[in-house]
Chains A and B, each alone.
Chain A
Amino acid sequence: MTLFLEQALNGLQLGVLLFLLSAGLTLVFGIMGIVNLAHGSLYMLGAYFAVTFTGWTGSFLLGALAALLATVIVGIVLERVAIRGLYDRPHLEQVLGTFGLILFFNEGARLVFGPAGLSLAPPAWLSGQVTLLPGVVYPSYRLAVLVAGIAAAGGMYWLVARTRAGMLLRAAAANRNMAEALGVNSRLLFLAVFALGAGLSGLAGILAAPLLTVRVGMGEEVLLLAFVVVVIGGIGSIRGALVAALLIGVLDTLGRAYLPGALRFAFAGPVADAVGPALSSMLIYFAMAVVLVVRPRGLFPTSARTDVAA
């Protein structure tokens, strides 16, 4: 039972990390309508920056802050140079363009940061464990990630659903010309939002850095997961992204924890060993397919009517 609790907590923590990633994606992709494959690259950059700046400053917090800033700046430059030209383009062309960006960022990161994976230690005050319940020992850093992620989730929800900036953003994303005609500086707004999305993605990278090896290609590993989360949640829905991220995090973790064991009941050892990991990898995609078949527009769809709207 305590094991299950711990696994569930692991799942939540992974979910929160996924949420941070997909929150930025939901903003940029769900609301602004940009399919940005390079979103994962910003996550990677955030992690690289975190390692670099922590090395320079000697402090994880300072390094993380600087890394966040740097990722946001990269986001701003990226928006001005590349993304701006993609706003009014079909999704497919955005895919092509941002695929090019992935290649660029991966190669660039390798040139700048070197081919070897980098590693970042969590700050000393977070490198221990806490006993949550008798028998449930949990790494403090993971707990911190959980808290940071939930805070970011709350902030995002408030920003998009409750503030005027969020309203303007949704308005401009739906109909840029019309928003402009009502006095919205959509260029600036989009720039700000893209930078925010970049920042969130960078934050995810920064938080993940002490857990993972920072290396080229780490962005693509999570990109798909983030897209899965956004789509399951309902495109453009922050709430949906949160629920879906937690769902996927828990599903993935529990799948890895219990599926192979369950399979061993059914099959001989080697078969179960081979099929288990494959099946648990498949699990989230299977979940997505099921969700989309049952609810084609995700868990929290934004409703639409097409027979009278222009």
Chain B
Amino acid sequence: MRPLLRLEGVEAGYGAARVLNGVSFDVGAGEVVALMGRNGMGKTTLVRSILGLAPWVRGRILFETRELRAQPTYRIARAGIGLVPEGRQTFPNLTVRENLTATATPGRSGKEPWTVERVLTMFPQLGERLRAMANTLSGGEQQMLAIGRALMTNPTLLVLDEATEGLSPALRQEIWACLAMLRRQGQSILLVDKHVAPIRRIADRIVILEKGRVAWRGSAGGLTDDVLNRTLGV
């Protein structure tokens, strides 16, 4: 299978500080890859590197057939990458509906496109608050909004950075169910999360980062307690 996203020896950092020390892995089309690691190991930096948001990046990042590095962020996004960023980052001065529609892009053929209605069936709670400014939402509501917003760009590759953070257990489960459903529909996903059990259930492959390097990589089945203990301290 031709990889959708390919990282080759990616290095990145802030100022002089290097955070990523040569990371390589692929995300295949239709595949769900989970990125794990302790705090501060570089997961978010990696996500930012893909989207051209890290201050500096070296190495190769290929999406479909395009080299992403040195492209402006908006082009990367328009190439079909939808981001749910760490820390939600909803647009505070837009209403919930505007947050969803402002950056929405029409769906690519072959998949059921995401619309406001479809997002609301997943997060009915947002429906009650469609006209509220995003900055009045609770933390969890903002998280839902961030997910909905990324889906509304109908991305080829959905990238979620700690998308279940701050969600209630029930809602968290719904998110996992939704991701599982997306996977069944052939959506490619790169996700960063700390919840081992659901990741085991839905990820095809898992990459674990440690100090900016890939410490372990393999199929979900191969993620033994031993590995977990060694890399995540679980």
The reply, when asked whether chain A contacts chain B directly with Cβ atoms under 8 A, is yes
* Chain A residues with a Cβ under 8 A of chain B: 164, 167-168, 170-171, 173-175, 177-187, 236, 302-305, 308-310
Interface residues as binary, B44-77 with A (CB distance below 8 Å gives 1, 0 otherwise): 0000000111000000000000000000111011
Cβ-defined contact, A181 with B77, below 8 A: yes
Asked whether A182 lies within 8 Å of B93 as measured between CB atoms, the reply is no
Of all chain B residues, the one with the shortest Cβ separation from A189 is: B74
CB distance from B6 to the nearest CB of A (A): 20
Closest to B50 in A: A181
Binds A, one of B15-23, B80-88, B173-181, B194-202: B80-88
Cα-based distance from A23 to B150 in the complex (angstroms):
32
What's the Cα separation between A18 and B124 when bound, in Å? Answer: 44
Tell me how far the C-beta of A303 lies from the nearest C-beta in chain B, rounded to whole angstroms: 6
Whether the pair A185, B72 counts as a contact (CB closer than 8 A) is yes
Interface residues contributed by chain B, number (CB under 8 Å)? 36
Q: Is the CB of A302 within 8 A of B89?
A: no
- A183:B94 contact, CB within 8 angstroms: no
Q: A182-B83, A182-B103, A183-B103 given as contacts; is B138 within 8 A of A175 (CB)?
A: no
Residue in B closest to A176 when the chains form the complex, CB atoms: B73
B153 contacts the other chain (CB 8 A): yes
A310:B93 contact, CB within 8 angstroms: no
Name A304's closest neighbour in chain B (CB-CB): B135
Chain B residue nearest to A188 (CB atoms) is B74
> Is the Cβ of A180 less than 8 Å from the Cβ of B93?
no
- Inside 8 A of B193's CB, which chain A residues have their CB? none
A177: contacting residue among B73, B103, B136, CB under 8 A: B73
Whether B102 and A171, one on each chain, are in contact in the complex, defined by CB atoms closer than 8 angstroms, is yes
Q: Report B-chain residues with C-beta under 8 Å of the C-beta of A186.
A: 74
**Which residues of B are found within 8 Å of A171, using beta-carbon distances?**
91, 94, 98-99, 102-103
Bound together, the chains give a CA A236 to CA B92 distance in angstroms of 13
Tell me if B205 is interfacial: C-beta within 8 Å of chain A: no
Q: A179-B74, A183-B77, A310-B89 are in contact. List 8 more A-B contacts (CB 8 A).
A: A171-B91, A180-B73, A181-B73, A181-B77, A182-B83, A187-B72, A308-B142, A309-B90
* A164 CB contact (under 8 Å) in B99, B102, B135: B102
Cβ–Cβ contact B73 & A168, under 8 A: no
User: B139 in the interface, Cβ–Cβ < 8 Å?
Assistant: yes
B101 with A164: CB separation less than 8 A: yes
By a CB distance below 8 angstroms, the chain A residues around B24 are none
Is B133's CB under 8 angstroms from A302's CB? yes
B72 and A305: CB pair below 8 A? Answer: no
Instruction: Pick from B85, B94, B103: contact of A174, CB below 8 A.
Output: B94
Establish whether residues A305 and B91, one from each chain, have CB atoms under 8 Å apart when the complex forms.
Answer: no
CB-nearest residue of chain B to A165: B102
Chain B CB within 10 A, most for which of A164, A182, A310: A182
Whether B102 and A175, one on each chain, are in contact in the complex, defined by CB atoms closer than 8 angstroms, is: no
Q: Which residues of A contact B153 (CB under 8 A)?
A: 182-183
Cβ-based interface call for B78 (8 A): yes
Choose one: A167, A173, A174, A303; the contact of B101 (CB below 8 Å): A167
A181 / chain B contacts, CB cutoff of 8 Å: 51, 53, 73-74, 76-77, 83, 85
Please list the 5 inter-chain residue pairs (A to B) with the smallest Cβ-Cβ separation, ordered nearest first.
A180-B73, A182-B103, A183-B77, A310-B87, A167-B102
Contact of A175 among B51, B83, B91 (CB under 8 A): B91
Q: Is B105 an interface residue (CB 8 A)?
A: yes
What are 6 residue pairs bridging A and B, where the CB atoms are less than 8 Å apart in the complex?
Answer: A167-B102, A171-B102, A182-B153, A184-B74, A236-B93, A303-B135
